[in-house]
Chains A and B, each alone.
Chain A
């Protein structure tokens, strides 16, 4: 099965806005890019992936060094940008697309590989975030549901409802790595306590020590 990954990236100077009180803009941008690198490394080291697409407001030229990555520039709001990217991918050679947020640095190659196996038996896979959002959305190429991502929205249940209302065969994939996106100061402090070799976690420890 040919699986592509799609990672939406917010406008970089607005990234991690809930951490504005604690981190300056440069630190927030660096943290965002390091989290993205952590995710990319997990994706690239997984055997199941065909190609990785970043849909981004910014140019992200630093990621052009990865041959597995294609950058799609889109300056619309998140759901529209994702719909644009999913439409684009439907036209490519592709059986399924895995949408991952860019702030999920704990995701491991085993998660990508598990999802790759699971999607063979389902049409949609959803993974909840610890605050009601959606951290995993995996769709077979022909599947279309309304996207409900957004600040403060309980998008996990909304996506689940949309999937069931459309009679899609859906399942849930969850673990702590998937639930924990870096979205607020509580999780920032929790990430600081983790024993991990991830670049973003090391950077969080650095920031916390300064």
Chain B
């Protein structure tokens, strides 16, 4: 995976739609993420419950999903590669995510990251980080159907991340998006990126968590990330985001 800029816009539930992604793509981001998008009735049901308790989520009916993604991607067309962050809890959901992402996306990102209890209860998001066997079984059957780069996104410090990377790497996954969430501080746990990099020279790492300035971004890159992902800052301070994106323009440096 080669991008023109080191900065990737991360998925923000209910926020990073085509229009939002376009704004960040126009700033020069290396790639932007649409989603998280739910690809089966289980995760859609979970999102509906999450919206009910006040969270922002994309709730798209299954029969309108393909059209929705097609239209949202069209808004960003030509500006930056589009990652589709896929939430699913079933094999059917995974297959749907692969099929639609192949058609309209540039990269598919499988979500093992979402920690919302409604998603985990249905066997999606972080459930796969706790219990990866089922997803590995599905990937063994379906990985050859994926025609675009595939990313596994997970949160650090919730399970043995070295083991998790190894399991998916053994099944042919080469790109990992690691949310370097610190176990108890409001700071990123950069060491986790370094630990994973030291044992996996052959993977691409997208690292992120609380990146709000060039120094933190550089720290991620020095400690083993190939790319950095930024989420909240895109809502909080677009000018800061622009400064970071401009700094990490690969073509410029």
Contact surface of A with B, Cβ cutoff 8 Å:
110, 113-114, 128, 130, 132, 157, 160-161, 163-164, 170-172, 174-176, 179
Does B120 count as interface, using CB distance less than 8 angstroms? yes
Leading 10 A-B pairs by shortest Cβ distance:
A174-B158, A176-B160, A160-B121, A128-B130, A170-B117, A114-B184, A175-B157, A160-B117, A161-B121, A172-B115
Query: How far, in whole Å, are A126 and B220 apart by their CA atoms in the complex?
Result: 31
Interface centre among B126, B157, B184 (most CB of A within 10 A): B184
Q: Which residue of A lies closest to B131 (CB)?
A: A132
Residue of A113, A172, A179 near B117 (CB, 8 A) is A172
Q: How far is the CA of A130 from the CA of B129 in the complex (A)?
A: 10
- Nearest-neighbor residue (CB-CB) of B122 within chain A: A157
Q: Mark B146-157, 1 if CB is under 8 A from A, else 0.
A: 000000000001
Which B residues are CB-close (under 8 A) to A160? 117, 120-121
Cross-chain contact A110 with B121 (CB below 8 angstroms)? no
Give the distance to chain A from B88, nearest Cβ to Cβ, in Å: 17
Docked pose: A175 CA to B130 CA in angstroms: 9
Partner of A176, one of B118, B121, B159: B159
23 contacts between A and B (CB under 8 A): A113-B184, A128-B130, A157-B121, A160-B120, A161-B121, A164-B117, A164-B118, A164-B121, A170-B117, A171-B115, A171-B117, A172-B120, A172-B126, A174-B126, A174-B130, A174-B158, A174-B159, A175-B158, A175-B183, A176-B159, A176-B160, A179-B159, A179-B160
Known: A164-B118, A172-B120; 19 extra A-B contacts, CB below 8 A, are: A110-B183, A132-B131, A157-B121, A160-B117, A160-B120, A160-B121, A161-B121, A163-B117, A171-B115, A171-B117, A174-B126, A174-B159, A175-B157, A175-B158, A175-B159, A175-B183, A179-B130, A179-B159, A179-B160
Q: Using a CB–CB distance below 8 Å, which chain B residues touch chain A?
A: 49, 115, 117-118, 120-121, 123, 126, 130-131, 157-160, 183-184
Instruction: Using CB atoms, name the residue of chain B closest to A161.
Output: B121
Residues of A within 8 A of B159 (CB): 174-176, 179
Q: Which residues of B contact A161 (CB under 8 A)?
A: 121
Q: Is the interface of B mostly helix, strand, loop or mixed?
A: loop
The binding surface of chain A is classed by DSSP as helix
- Count contacts between A and B, CB distance < 8 Å: 39
Nearest chain B CB to A155 CB, angstrom units = 13
B contact residues around A157 at 8 Å (CB): 121, 123
Task: List A contacts of B115 (CB < 8 A).
Answer: 171-172
Instruction: Report the bound CA distance from A176 to B158 in whole Å.
Output: 7
Q: How far is the CB of A54 from chain B (nearest CB, A)?
A: 27
Contacts of B126 in A (CB 8 A): 172, 174
- Could you say which residues of chain B place their CB within 8 Å of the CB of A175? 157-159, 183
**Chain A residues with Cβ under 8 A from B131's Cβ?**
132
Q: How far, in whole Å, are A172 and B123 apart by their CA atoms in the complex?
A: 14
| Most A C-beta atoms less than 10 A away, residue of B115, B121, B183 | B121
Complex interface: chain A residues within 8 A of B157 (CB): 175
Q: Are A110 and B184 closer than 8 Å at their CB atoms?
A: yes
Q: How far is A176 from B161 in the complex, measured between Cα atoms in Å?
A: 9
Chain B residues within an 8 Å CB radius of A110: 183-184
A128: which B residues are within 8 A, CB to CB? 130
Among B126, B158, B160, the most chain A Cβ lie within 10 Å of the Cβ of: B158
User: Which chain B positions have C-beta within 8 A of A163?
Assistant: 117
Give the distance to chain A from B160, nearest Cβ to Cβ, in Å: 5
Residue of A157, A160, A174, A179 contacting most chain B CB atoms (<10 Å): A174
Closest to B46 in A: A164
Distance in angstroms between the alpha carbons of A128 and B117 in the assembled complex: 12
CA distance A36 to B236 in the complex (A): 47
Cα–Cα distance between A10 and B37 once the two chains are bound (Å): 45
Q: How far is the CA of A99 from the CA of B23 in the complex (A)?
A: 48
Minimum Cβ distance to chain B for residue A165 (Å): 10
> What's the minimum C-beta distance from B240 to chain A, rounded to whole angstroms?
28
Across-interface contacts of B118 in A (CB, < 8 A): 164
Chain A nearest CB from B187 CB (Å) reads 15
